[in-house]
Amino acid sequence: MNALAATSRNFKQAAKLLGLDSKLEKSLLIPFREIKVECTIPKDDGTLASYVGFRVQHDNARGPMKGGIRYHHEVDPDEVNALAQLMTWKTAVANIPYGGAKGGIGCSPGDLSISELERLTRVFTQKIHDLIGIHTDVPAPDMGTNSQTMAWILDEYSKFHGYSPAVVTGKPVDLGGSLGRDAATGRGVLFATEALLAEHGKGIAGQRFVIQGFGNVGSWAAQLISEAGGKVIAISDVTGAIKNVNGLDIAKLVKHSAENKGIKGFNGGDAIDPNSLLTEECDVLIPAALGGVINKDNANDIKAKYIIEAANHPTDPEADEILSKKGVLILPDILANSGGVTVSYFEWVQNIQGFMWDEEKVNAELRTYMTRAFGDVKKMCQSHNCDLRMGAFTLGVNRVARATVLRGWEA
């Protein structure tokens, strides 16, 4: 099931549990605005190349729309739509004053030079500058983009509107980026995991973790979990998978991965088949890579007691049903990986105030937000007698629906 179908299905279930008016339900599902622009740039060799850029602005009932921009050859309107909708619910669950958006350009960033990427980013910004803004829509980095991309967008946008650091988040610290933003999603995963384990009288220390994915989120989650006393026994990335039942040395692995562009060949563990990683014996499984990796084919073989969804949409709805029958607790993506957007919100706040925080304050505030969001989700689970995923969706959808009605939505 693709991301759009799964997200819509979860939304509809939540709307049913909440007893939403059918007209309001339909209105919440339809995006506020969909933008499609043509971006033509001169390549380094003098030829012209055209790319299609998208921005889907899903909902602004609770505040400016917020969401990443991805550069990927498979960027399509359906995926961008699903992710924009997911951002609406995610920001509501985290209880930060934003709506949801998502954007992207259909290109292969690896095939473009730095100067080509800069030209493409600037042309895209020229085409959408009057549709984004500090109080309208605030982009951020995503797959294939980074703080440098945000710096270019900020510069291009500022040519039209004056210096506006709050127009994007995930910027370099030198241009008003927030301290702690780099580790934010991984740190949020740690705080969310702590909150879930505490419910069951456990802590991070002594638990065995398996992490799929060793990019920004997976590597930070692994480092922070291991610092907190957790034992990370297996990890995979695109180059391969490794396992050490006594726990991997994460600091050494981070260094190895940076030097060798992946974890393959690391001598502090045994190489295993990456396909078997998800079914390794462990207490907590953290999928932090791609969507749809836990499906009906492997759900029966999963041995973890807890799954923390650090990736977007890693669990198919069919797998969800199988796992809940087995008693596996899943902390859904719209709560588990909301650390990134929460610290993006802190960055935006700092930019608007023109007053920057130290990293300690950023991390302390993030812990408060993640722990509170988990508590709010648990309350919804009790009210509606549902699992954590539906608890999170009912919480998010309910907050957006209430804001929509309060603002004067006419049924």
Residues at the binding site for NAD(+) are 185, 216
- Alpha-helix residue ranges (DSSP H) falling in 30-98: 77-93
* Binding site as annotated, residues for substrate: 66, 90, 344
Query: For residues 101 and 56, is the Cβ–Cβ distance under 8 A?
Result: yes
Q: What kind and span of H or E run contains 155?
A: helix 147-161
Residues tagged active-site: 102
Q: Which residue, 266, 186, 257, is CA-closest to 226? A: 186
Residue 366 neighbours by CB under 8 Å, 6+ apart = 180, 184, 187, 188, 191, 339, 342, 343, 346
Sheet holding 329-331, edge to edge: 270-272, 240-243, 231-237, 208-212, 284-287, 306-308, 329-331
How far apart are the C-alpha atoms of 21 and 9, rounded to whole Å? 17
Q: Which residue, 108, 103, 88, is CA-closest to 35? A: 103
Q: How many residues does the chain have?
A: 411
Secondary structure of residue 154 in the 3-state scheme: helix
Secondary structure of residue 169 in the 3-state scheme: coil
How far apart are the C-alpha atoms of 279 and 307, rounded to whole Å? 12
* Binding site as annotated, residues: 66, 90, 185, 216, 344
Query: For residues 303 and 282, is the Cβ–Cβ distance under 8 A?
Result: yes
Q: Which amino acid is at 349?
A: V
How far apart are the C-alpha atoms of 394 and 387, rounded to whole Å? 11
Rounded-to-10 torsion of CA 190, 196, 200, 203:
10
Secondary structure of residue 48 in the 3-state scheme: strand
CB atoms within 10 A of CB 321: 12
Residue 186 neighbours by CB under 8 Å, 6+ apart = 216, 217, 218, 219, 220, 221, 222, 223, 224, 310, 339
